[in-house]
Structure 1
Amino acid sequence: MPYTAEDPRHWSADELRARIPGWGADVDPADRPSYPKQRYAPGETGAHWELPEQQPEHTPRERSIEHARLTPVFGTAAPLHGLSGAIRRFAYARYSEGRAAHWLLLVLGDRVDAIESHLRSLFTTHPDQPLTQTGVLSEGRRHGITSRFGHRRADVKHQWLDPILVAGPWILAVWGVVAVTRRAFSRR
């Protein structure tokens, strides 16, 4: 019988064991498969150290304010850099991981990093190509428009927003360059 508002009865362990076959099989710690893991038995692990050797920290790493130190081994493949790195460092130094501000600043850092990458690509020999890399051209070539109707696709609900998200930053960047160029020429 399911628990309902009309029957607030609490079953005892013996009643549950009698009604439900196998109920309480893991009540005794000796019967629990994970019990050896939960015991403190340092001699049984085979480890030859109390705490692993700490990896050297050549550049300051971000760490939550909840933690006193870094884990013994940590990644160094993508060190923080630029404005996005400053935003992420601020998130780790100022806010706890339990606060929304911490995570929102990390998301903002990711967005700023994406913008920095796009801007950096403009000054290389292979700049980003938004028309070919976003798949906008394939919409007309590979039945992109006709496939959106009559097939119950989930992305139809937000497709009006896609051009704004894809083209919006590029349009703003071009507008900014034009505004700066006009201002520079008008001062001369």
Structure 2
Amino acid sequence: MPYTSAPHEQRTDVEELRRRIPGWGVDLDPADRPAVPRERREPGGTGAHWEFPERQPEPSARERSIEHEQLPPVFGTAQPLKGLSGGIRRFAYARYSEGRAAHWLLLILGDRVDAVESHLRSFATLRPDNPVTETGVLSERRRHGISSRFGSRRADVRHQWMDPILVAGPWVLAGVGLVAVARAVARGVRR
């Protein structure tokens, strides 16, 4: 029977439903409902007590969803936002609601930018990232990596063409930049 917005003509007798269906209408009487104490709005009725804890100091501005008026009393400060990725994340929290796709897409973009920033930061250290060992390229030969990609429905097969660009890209750019700097220094020395 299709749904219509008109009132239904057939009315069922409540007592007849109770006789026919075991357990029907057990929650009609509020005294029989197990959740009734929670439905009452009397804070002292349950015996539970809670006081708002002392707020954690906020040394710098924190990202906070626009749905929430304030931060919770305790929040994490282990990974403060920094760089361009931090700016992208701050913009996502300041501009878009958590219910919007743009909020989450900007946070994902912030993660990708943070990964690139970390790669670039590693070049300035004495021990930069090692793409050969950190990407698992050596295990491809030992663990049948190439043969496992053909004839299967693996999800990573669709984006494997872009993996060398993302992994080797920063290294190639750093090498090109290093060669350009070396050439500029060599030209300056000749003059």
* Fold match by TM threshold 0.5: yes
Q: In structure 2, what is the equivalent of residue 8 of structure 1?
A: 3
State how far apart, in whole Å, the 1-side matches of 2:61 and 2:173 are: 35
Q: 2:93 touches 2:103 (CA, 8 Å); kept in 1?
A: yes
Q: If the length of structure 2 is used for normalisation, what is the TM-score?
A: 0.71
Map 1:42-81 → 2, pairs under 5 A: 42-43=43-44, 44=46, 46-49=48-51, 51-81=52-82
Give, as a single letter, the amino acid of the residue that structure 2 aligns with 1:65: I
The TM-score, its normalising length taken from structure 1, stands at 0.71
Which residue pairs with 2:164 in the alignment? 163
Structure-2 change in CA distance of 1:183 and 1:20 (3 Å): farther
Shift of 1:39: 3.6
For 1:11-160, list aligned pairs within 5 A.
14=14, 22=23, 33-43=34-44, 44=46, 46-49=48-51, 51-150=52-151, 152-160=153-161
Equivalent position SS for 1:63: coil
CA deviation profile, 1:127-178 (whole Å, cap 9, x unmatched): 2111111101111122212233455544334433433333334334444x25
Aligned residues: 181
Deviation at 1:88, TM superposition (A): 1.5
CA distance in structure 2 between the partners assigned to 1:100 and 1:56 by the alignment: 31
Root mean square deviation of aligned Cα: 3.5
Higher-Rg structure is 2
Deviations 1:79-102 (A, max 9, x none): 112222122222222333333332
The verdict on how the C-alpha distance between 1:54 and 1:132 changes in structure 2, with shifts beyond 3 A counting, is same
Which consecutive residues of structure 2, in runs of 5 or more, have no partner in the other structure?
none
Identity score, percent: 67
Higher alpha-carbon deviation: 22-31 or 132-141: 22-31
Residues 140 and 146 in structure 2, CA contact (< 8 A), matched pair in contact too:
yes
Question: Which ranges of 4 or more aligned residues in structure 1 deviate by more than 6 Å?
Answer: 9-13, 15-20
The 1-side partners of 2:76 and 2:103 are apart by 20
Q: Which segments of 5 or more consecutive residues in structure 1 lack a partner in the other structure?
A: 1-5
